[in-house]
Structure 1
Amino acid sequence: MDTSGDPCVFCDVVEGRTEASVAFRDDVVIVIMNGNPVNPGHAVVVSRTHASGLEDLDDEVGAHMWCVARRVARGLRRCGLRCEGVNVWLGDGEAALQEVFHTHIHVFPRFEGDNVVFDADCEPRNRRLLDQEALVLKEAMKSIAPIATP
């Protein structure tokens, strides 16, 4: 449930106030088919608890979401829909193209000639710059609680 007071389409789906084509549900997530799919079979793993982004997401819920996303990907390869590969995508924040501010993971089949384009101008980075970036990230991560391991 979205506690911000703003309407949240995924909270509405989770609560049954909005129709959705449900592929899977448990106590932690719901998997729905995307109404504007990249390709047929495009599914979205949605946390049942509202978390606007990764910063707000409980570690255990996030880990479960990943496990379910992986299971969806495996299912796409077996279900009979055209699927020669799978993309798993999560946008966290407006700059990362997140449109619905309720944490969710897209899982969609890919195949040769599907016209899906990811366009980035990636350039090789100097090792010294990579080392500097690693150091500042390492320092920032020290302030975050460690991941619980099984």
Structure 2
Amino acid sequence: MTCVFCKIINRELPASIVYEDDLCIGFLDIHPINDGHVLVVPKEHQPRLTQVHGKTVGHMFLVGQKVLKALEQSDIRCEGANLFLSDGAVAGQEVMHSHLHIVPRYRGDGQRTGYTHSDEVPRKRLDEIAGTIKSFL
């Protein structure tokens, strides 16, 4: 298998592991946004979040919460955090193995989330979009 995360999980590549259990592993990102940037990765290889087992998805976020609590209690400057998951290449996913980013944030760190606000969308259009989504749930 050529997936870098699978190689880390199988101990074929080194990683600075901060958490591990039967479902997930958490390790430091080698290209961190800030010190303490952790990736929470399901051990089962699935490229997209919709392919990850529901139990594992929920567990990823519980692990993310544990990691964030540890960051807040540590000497790492963590006044807040961004938790995000880029799902698919068009969304900026670089490693095609689903993973959750835990990025410690602090005042003046110079980082941005990358989001820009659009103009306010009329309620009628929002309701149409909501209806479309609801019809598939």
Settle same-fold status: TM greater than 0.5: yes
Pairing 1:1-150 to 2, within 5 Å after superposition: 7-117=2-112, 118-141=114-137
What residue number does 1:147 align with? none
2-structure distance, mates of 1:129, 1:60: 34
When normalised by structure 1's length, the TM-score is: 0.88
2:118 and 2:32 mapped to 1: Cα distance? Answer: 26
Letter paired with 2:120: P
Q: Which amino acid aligns with 1:120?
A: T
Q: Compute the displacement of 1:122 (Å).
A: 2.2
Shift of 1:133: 0.3
- RMSD over aligned CA atoms reads 1.0
Give the total of aligned pairs.
136
Runs of 4+ off more than 2 Å: none
After superposition, what is the alpha-carbon deviation per residue over 1:76-135, rounded to whole angstroms, capped at 9, x for unaligned? 111110111011010001111101010100001101111111232422110000000000
- Structure 1, unaligned runs of 5 or more: 142-150
> Helix, strand or coil for the counterpart of 2:56?
helix
**1:48-88, CA deviations, whole angstroms, 9 ceiling, x for partnerless residues?**
01011112110001011010011111111111101110110
> What percentage of aligned pairs have identical amino acids?
34
Which structure 2 segments of 5+ residues have no match?
A: none
Give me the whole-angstrom Cα distance separating, in 2, the residues matched to 1:134 and 1:75.
37
The one-letter amino acid of 2:131's match is: L
Higher mean displacement: 104-113 or 119-128: 119-128
